[in-house]
């Protein structure tokens, strides 16, 4: 086990073999990676464990730089385990380079069907037994999609849990994918309105960029194509605390003047590439709608729900906006079929993504009856008008989980755990322990 030291911390790497399909424990094995972090002065202490489940799906765990951010608060009380969920980071990867080894698109889709929250929870159980022992339990901190996984954990293996902390990640227990996005578009529209109220000059600046792209789609440094609808996808950043400001600074210096007139600058295109490319997390696009699939809720599957529902919200039609005089609206956390045409990291996986969208009979991810009898202390931060996770769904789920305590706040956006420097985590620790 490699061990490294950073300022104030000791990091130990763990690699564990788990079944691809936990229903077949003797079948194909994959590897999951987790990094243990402990404060230097507490390395020899018998501390409780805190498992961190990252948001996504398909994002690797944070890479710490010593005692930074929320981790500094966590290390006061816990030995922290940062998990690279299956398919991400240093776990057995799943991307355009590796998935073709599985075979054709159907084989790839079947493989990826084992990469949702139910499998992640079973991975966590295998890791817990390996590191702590069969009879020892631990705590879980779930951010965003990590909170979805934590609710699955409460459904399937509550006896393994001492306490659960959730930030911006209480899912709708019975919400089909289409309803997730039907509720999302109005929230995204409100975030657009707030952005343009904050930066009114951006209305024309964004129209100018979208108009230019309609006439001349631009090639991004990584080979992708920037079209008006791809440009709209930059709205994903509007759900974070500083996202509106970042978007404004990106838009304000989009153009430079060359021999042939105004063109989009290299710096603009490079920054856009960084925001739009799924090269670092293709599972985010491949599984984003599958995380809502549950046979008892919608046996039919997801069927490109965000794209299907988008037609109900004509305000997001960039062509109509440009033909009129209204603002071009950015979209948010929505995945569309065309992304698998314009992004080189996704293009080879287009047929696989389509098969996942068509897949039916996804296993259920939550057990409402068991959650109603929950005995594990749970505290959750619910962000007022969270762009990524519907507040109404979150509060309904909070009521459905016995004993769960909520902190509803508009002080932070969806990235409050990271942005607050430990304050959000500290509040939840106090809540779950009954200190507030």
Contact 64, 75 (CB under 8 A): no
Query: Which one is catalytic: 113, 414, 415, 420?
Result: 414
Structure tokens at 287: 């599984």
Q: Distance between terminal CA atoms of the chain?
A: 39
Contact 39, 68 (CB under 8 A): no
**DSSP secondary structure of 226-295:** E-HHHHHGGGGGGGSTTHHHHHHHHHHT-EEEETTEEEE-HHHHHHHHHHH--TT-HHHHHSTTGGG--T
CA–CA distance, 176 with 289 (Å, rounded to integer):
10
**Backbone φ/ψ region at 367: left (φ over 0), alpha (ψ -120 to 50), beta:** beta
Cβ-based neighbours of 211, under 8 Å, separated by 6 or more: 322
Q: How far is CA 223 from CA 76, 206, 272, in A?
A: 45, 23, 12
Q: Return the closest-CA partner of residue 404 out of 166, 145, 105, 149.
A: 166
Q: How far is CA 130 from CA 124, 306, 377, in A?
A: 10, 39, 24
Active site residue 414: yes
Q: Return the closest-CA partner of residue 168 out of 419, 408, 334, 383.
A: 383
Query: Which one is catalytic: 386, 390, 393, 415?
Result: 386
Angle CA(137)–CA(16)–CA(151) in degrees, nearest 5?
45
Q: Return the closest-CA partner of residue 131 out of 47, 56, 189.
A: 47
Structure tokens at 279: 């090269």
| Residue 163 buriedness (CB in 10 A; 0-12 / 13-18 / 19+) | buried
Cβ-based neighbours of 44, under 8 Å, separated by 6 or more: none
Cβ-based neighbours of 282, under 8 Å, separated by 6 or more: 58, 94, 95, 96, 345, 346, 349
Query: Which one is catalytic: 61, 119, 139, 144?
Result: 144
Angle CA(14)–CA(16)–CA(22) in degrees, nearest 5?
145
CA–CA distance, 345 with 348 (Å, rounded to integer):
7
Active-site residue list: 144, 386, 414
């Amino acid at each position: 086990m490699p061990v490294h030291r950073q300022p104030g911390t000791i990091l130990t790497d763990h690699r564990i073999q788990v079944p691809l399909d936990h229903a077949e424990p003797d079948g194909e094995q994959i590897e999951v990676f987790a990094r243990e972090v402990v404060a230097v002065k507490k390395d020899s202490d018998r501390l409780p464990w805190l498992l961190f489940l990252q948001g996504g799906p398909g994002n690797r765990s944070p890479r710490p730089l010593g005692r930074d951010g929320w981790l500094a608060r966590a290390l006061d009380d816990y030995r922290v385990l940062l998990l690279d969920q299956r398919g991400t980071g240093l776990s057995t990867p799943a991307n355009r380079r590796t998935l073709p080894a599985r075979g054709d698109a159907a084989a790839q889709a079947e493989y990826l069907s084992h990469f949702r929250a139910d499998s992640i929870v079973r991975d966590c159980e295998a890791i817990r037994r390996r590191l702590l022992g069969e009879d020892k339990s631990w705590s879980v901190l779930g951010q965003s999609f990590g909170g979805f996984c934590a609710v699955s954990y409460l459904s399937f293996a509550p006896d393994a849990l001492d306490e659960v902390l959730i930030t911006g990640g209480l899912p709708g227990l019975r919400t089909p994918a289409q309803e997730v996005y039907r509720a999302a578009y109005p929230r995204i529209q409100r975030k657009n309105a707030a952005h343009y109220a904050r930066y009114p000059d951006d209305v024309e600046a964004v129209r100018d960029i979208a108009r230019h792209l309609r006439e001349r789609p631009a090639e991004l440094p990584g080979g992708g194509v920037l079209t008006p609808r791809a440009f709209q996808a930059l709205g994903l950043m509007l759900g974070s605390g500083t996202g509106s400001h970042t978007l404004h600074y990106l838009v304000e210096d989009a153009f430079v003047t060359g021999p042939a007139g105004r063109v989009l600058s290299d710096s603009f295109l490079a920054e856009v590439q960084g925001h739009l490319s799924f090269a670092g997390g293709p599972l985010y696009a491949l599984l984003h709608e599958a995380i809502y699939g549950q046979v008892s809720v919608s046996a039919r599957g997801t069927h490109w729900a965000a794209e299907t529902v988008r037609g109900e919200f004509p305000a997001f039609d960039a062509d109509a906006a440009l033909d009129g005089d209204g603002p071009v609206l950015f979209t948010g956390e929505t995945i569309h079929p065309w992304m698998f045409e314009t992004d080189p990291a996704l293009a080879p996986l287009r047929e696989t993504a389509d098969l996942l969208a068509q897949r039916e009979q996804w296993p259920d991810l939550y057990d409402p009856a068991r959650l109603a009898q929950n005995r594990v202390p749970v505290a959750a931060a619910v962000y007022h008008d969270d762009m990524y996770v519907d507040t109404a769904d979150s509060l309904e789920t909070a009521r459905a989980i016995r004993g769960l305590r909520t902190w509803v706040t508009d002080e932070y956006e969806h990235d409050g755990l990271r942005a607050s420097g430990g304050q959000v985590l500290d509040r939840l620790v106090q809540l779950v322990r009954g200190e507030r």
